[in-house]
Amino acid sequence: MQLFAELPPVLQALIGTLFTWGMTALGAALVFTTREVSQKFLDAMLGFAGGVMIAASYWSLLAPAIDMAEQDPLPAWIPAAVGFLLGGIFLLGIDKLLPHLHPNAPMKQAEGLHPMRQRRSTLLVLAITMHNIPEGLAIGVAFGAVAAGFESASLTGAIALAIGIGIQNFPEGVAVSMPLRREGMTRRKSFFYGQLSGMVEPVAAMLGAFAVYFIEPLLPYALSFAAGAMIFVVAEEVIPGAHEKGNHDLASISLMIGFTVMMILDVALG
């Protein structure tokens, strides 16, 4: 831990998101052991992921942002509110522009600009990539906040955030690779596309860590921005996707479990 603490924040963020990318790849690797995964399992994991993202948005991002903003002349809620709403608006724009397809959805339900021009595999990867951009940013700004010396930010809290996001990345890898395998794609190609969406997280994390470390006044806004983006993803895609096949109660209980696990990680380690 001491050696890790001495690393530059950009490198810390890179290591943290290499773990989250690895968890995406681990989920995608299930195609090498089975051709089919229970829909109840997938919906439970998706609900769990939503709970992790909601808890991380508050304990790891919004709460520290409000604490940091108390040092500014503006009311502390202004940076949190502005950043949070901008994060949601940013993801809304991506949702409208980026062609993508939610897992298990038919091609006719593809969204974004000109989605029918893309292959199904590409659309699935782009859908999960939308989730991973705010997650990578969240990890990056968390490590950047620690390096900037803010009292409300801790290294263990940033590590807890990376662990929590890594846990919820597992079902995302499954959600891409399994549908492709069912449609006849080879195991290797299904795995490749399943893990591909996780590659954006290290890039987003390093950009986030670099930005907030060198432009400290942006930090409350950056933390809130990442929180708003993640909440938009949960409300727009994760919860509806978990309920799509009728497993409402299972998905809801799993969401509460995911929220509880992330809350414990953040409070206990942070």
Which of 84, 91, 213 is closest to 143 using CA atoms?
213
Q: Contact at 8 Å (CB) between 243 and 100?
A: no
Residue 116 pLDDT: 79
Residue 270 pLDDT: 61
Residue 41 pLDDT: 87
Distance CA 106, CA 116 (A): 11
Q: Could you tell me the mean pLDDT of each successive run of 10 residues in the chain, 270 residues long?
A: 79 92 94 85 88 89 87 84 95 87 75 81 81 87 80 78 86 84 87 88 88 77 90 89 88 95 81
Which of 268, 262, 264 is closest to 57 using CA atoms?
262
Q: Contact at 8 Å (CB) between 211 and 222?
A: yes
Provide the whole-model pTM: 0.85
Displacement of CA 96 from its chain's centroid (Å) = 19
Distance CA 87, CA 226 (A): 6
Residue 20 pLDDT: 93
Q: How far is CA 206 from CA 76, 179, 209, 236, in A?
A: 26, 31, 5, 26
Q: Contact at 8 Å (CB) between 56 and 231?
A: no
Give burial (CB, 10 Å; 0-12/13-18/19+) of 38. exposed
Alpha-helical segments (H) within 98-196: 120-147, 155-182, 187-196
The helix (run of H) or strand (run of E) holding residue 14 is helix 9-28
Which of 246, 255, 196 is closest to 55 using CA atoms?
255
* Side chain identity, residue 166: G
Residues, the chain, total?
A: 270
- Which letter, b or e, does each residue of 68-96 get, where b requires 16 or more Cβ atoms within 10 Å of its Cβ? bbeeeeeebeebbbbbbeebbebbeebbe
Q: Contact at 8 Å (CB) between 113 and 99?
A: yes
